[in-house]
Amino acid sequence: MLPIYICEDDAKVRIAQKECLEKQILMEGYDMEVALFSGHPQEILEAVRSSPQRGIYFLDVELKDEPMDGFALGQEIRKVDPRGFLIYVTSFADLAFETFRYHLEALDYIVKGNPEKMFAGIRASLAVITERMRKEQGEQAESFTVKVMDVVKHIPVDEIMFFETSGRTHRIELHGKKERVDFIGSMQELEGRLGSQFLRVHRAYLVNVGQIGELDLKRREILMKNGERCLFSRNVKQKLLSL
């Protein structure tokens, strides 16, 4: 999970940024969380140093009555997190030269004078970061995307055990390594969408063949690698044995 840090000296703007981020994370199902929001750069640095990992940083440039500004803070963060994502949220529109002078690789510069534009910039930054992370991890074409209520989830295909028809009409239950997800859909649509990595082994089950552990031929059951079981039909027995 990517931690997000906010350093902004205006309390109202700071809270607005936090609320915008948390709302977007919830809506899009991003694997992120707001770890700390503060008006004091030293608090941000202490938190980053105590838990060093790749993070996302929304930094104000002018930090009034503080020993360092946003650029100096960015330099210190880079010493701990050289691959982190720096985003400057500022009253100044053109900061490209300054970040170059400080040897900072900023992802974006968001002007905070207009709240709606600031929120749009924050949303766009999260989308860009998510896309970059997927490309780096080789998951660009390997995630199953599903909308559950108002949340969009991106689940790595390799973490899906199988899909099962629910007791309710047009409902499917995804069985994953980490979670179960109930959503509206059909097995026929899923078969066409997911391709040969998944096999329809029963009218009620669509199985990830890479996650099959054992076959119980007597009971006509598949034991998945995570310990879950599902049934298979007689007519797919030979396909399963040939895997």
pLDDT-based confidence at 18, cuts 50/70/90? very high
In 3D, which of 13, 59, 74, 3 has the Cα closest to residue 34? 3
Determine what percent of the chain falls in helix, strand and coil, rounding each to the nearest 5.
Answer: 40, 35, 30
Average pLDDT over residues 13-32: 92
H-type helices in the chain, by residue range?
A: 11-28, 41-50, 70-80, 96-101, 115-136, 187-194, 237-241
Q: What is the pLDDT of residue 59?
A: 93
Q: Is the torsion defined by CA of 224, 229, 230, 231 positive or negative?
A: positive
**Structure tokens, 64:** 């009034």
Contact 181, 174 (CB under 8 A): yes
Q: For a pLDDT cut of 90, what percent of the chain falls above it?
A: 51
Which residues in 148-175 are b (16+ Cβ under 10 Å) and which e? eeeeebebebebbbbbbbeeeeeebbbb
| pLDDT over threshold 70, residue 42 | yes
pTM of the model: 0.57
Side-chain-side CA neighbours of residue 140 (13 Å): 7
